[in-house]
Amino acid sequence: MRWLLLLLVPLLGCRASKERALLASVAAATEAAVTTQRGDWGPYRREAARLDALGGRLHLEFVPPADDKGAEDLAHVHLRASVEGGAPMEACLMGTNATDLAETFADSVLPPLASLALAETATAARRFYGDSLHGVPKQVGWVGTAYWRGAPPSPELEAHGYFTGADLRVPHDGRPRLVKVVIALHADKWKRTIEVDGEPLEVNRVLPIPSGDFALHVQFAVLEGVADPVDDEAARARAVRAVGRAPEWLPAGDRCASEVLPSAFRLANFETDGARGGRLPAALERCRSGAAGACYEAALELQRTTETSTLSTPLFLRACALGDASGCTNAAANTFDEACGVKVFSATCERGDDPWGCTMLAMQLVRGKETPHDVPRARAALRRACRFGEEDPACRAAHEIEAMIDADAR
């Protein structure tokens, strides 16, 4: 027995040493990946296998898995994450090695976690609500970019959605949770497993998707732990009245957007229905806190009805001041002031790469009553209007303007 103990102690020590080395390696690789890919989310501080990001708002720790059932040739760690010292969220992470695991984390797991910490949709994350195809049913939160091994997602999987039909029965208790979904092809059937904070709540559920080439798809989501308030019309009405009282944090609606143009533009993430109905109060609060995308969402919601459409301009101006080029374009379009418009559209097209800004600039340069006509500059602007593809409305409008210019030249 004594010899067994003597042999066991160094073996266990070797395993623990390897685990510590792996965890530290994952944390270091994560810090490098985050710094490289998400440089605007600093500052970061790392100590061994612990990483603090976003100036200390987001705490990450990599620990050994309680029951390591992964393949021996894979890097396998357990993540514990918390925001501002709140309840911990957990998930199992795997990769071919420490660097692969860290890059996957930076691309797919960190964005929704950072969104929760920032209270704003971060780069590479997407906001979802209870009725969003890309989200978790009956929940509110953010999803990260899905990643896969093998064949890329089929059109059928994209149309079905990763979480569609999931009934996780997660309470709306205000506690955030980290969700991981794994969809894999087994015996010609797509099967789905969903874990919430590392605990499986759905295992190998068969999905109604045609079989295809082998693939493994993984996506992470962060749940806010609140119910979707979309049907609360009373809350929406109160929010509309609050905007109508012209709070001092909103610019006056009669200002030209050129007065609030930022020194640099950034693409603000937003969801078209992000402020629909009872979601409006939360969007306004995030807007007040500095989330440009939330300002834009709120403006779109107020623009939906004739009674509230004029209230959208201050919110577009707020989005503009926070760096969103599209907010500037929309605010200028609402003023019907040609001199204001050409200043703003020039900036949002030429500095902000906003497709509608380019389309609106081109229109004024060829049809404006007070703007000197400049067809070469208009054509140059139109060439920048298809950034989001040929089917984008701004691109289609650009083609119509170009056809009009060609007709005038004949």
- 43 prior amide bond cis, ω within 30: yes
Contacts (Cβ under 8 Å, ≥6 apart) of 176? 83, 86, 87, 89, 116, 141, 222, 223, 224, 225
Where do the H-state alpha helices sit in 38-147?
Answer: 98-104, 110-118
Q: How many residues does the chain have?
A: 410
pLDDT along the chain (410 residues), means of 10: 35 46 73 62 73 86 72 77 92 85 86 90 88 91 92 88 91 96 90 95 93 89 94 96 95 95 90 93 94 95 90 97 96 91 96 96 90 92 93 95 87
What are the residues whose beta carbons fall under 8 Å from the beta carbon of 38, sequence distance 6 or more?
A: 106, 110, 111, 114, 122, 123
Name 151's Cβ contacts closer than 8 Å, sequence gap at least 6.
212, 213, 214, 215
Evaluate whether 135 touches 143 at the Cβ level (below 8 Å).
yes
In this structure, what DSSP letter does residue 41 have?
A: G
- Backbone CA torsion sign across 117, 122, 125, 127: positive
Query: Judging by beta carbons within 10 Å of its beta carbon (0-12, 13-18, 19+), is residue 196 exposed, middle or buried?
Result: buried
Tell me which of 1.10.3470, 1.20.120, 1.25.40, 1.10.286 is the CATH number of domain 233-409.
1.25.40
The 3-state DSSP class for residue 398 equals helix
Helix (DSSP H) and strand (DSSP E) numbers for the chain: 13, 12
Instruction: Say what the pLDDT of residue 68 is.
Output: 56
Please report the pLDDT score of residue 52 as a whole number.
85
- Read out DSSP for 262-312? -SS--PPP--TTTT-GGGHHHHHHHHHTT-HHHHHHHHHHHHTSTTTGGGH
In order, the DSSP letters of 307-322 are TTGGGHHHHHHHHHHT
Helix H or strand E encompassing 183: strand 177-186
Phi, psi at 183, each rounded to 5°: -120, 125
Phi and psi, residue 153, nearest 5°: -60, 135
Nearest Cα to Cα of residue 20 among 57, 61, 58, 55 = 61
- Based on the number of CB atoms within 10 Å of its own CB, is 372 exposed (0-12), middle (13-18) or buried (19 or more)? exposed
What is the three-state SS of 344-391?
HHHHHHHCCCCHHHHHHHHHHHHHCCCCCCCHHHHHHHHCCCCCCCCC
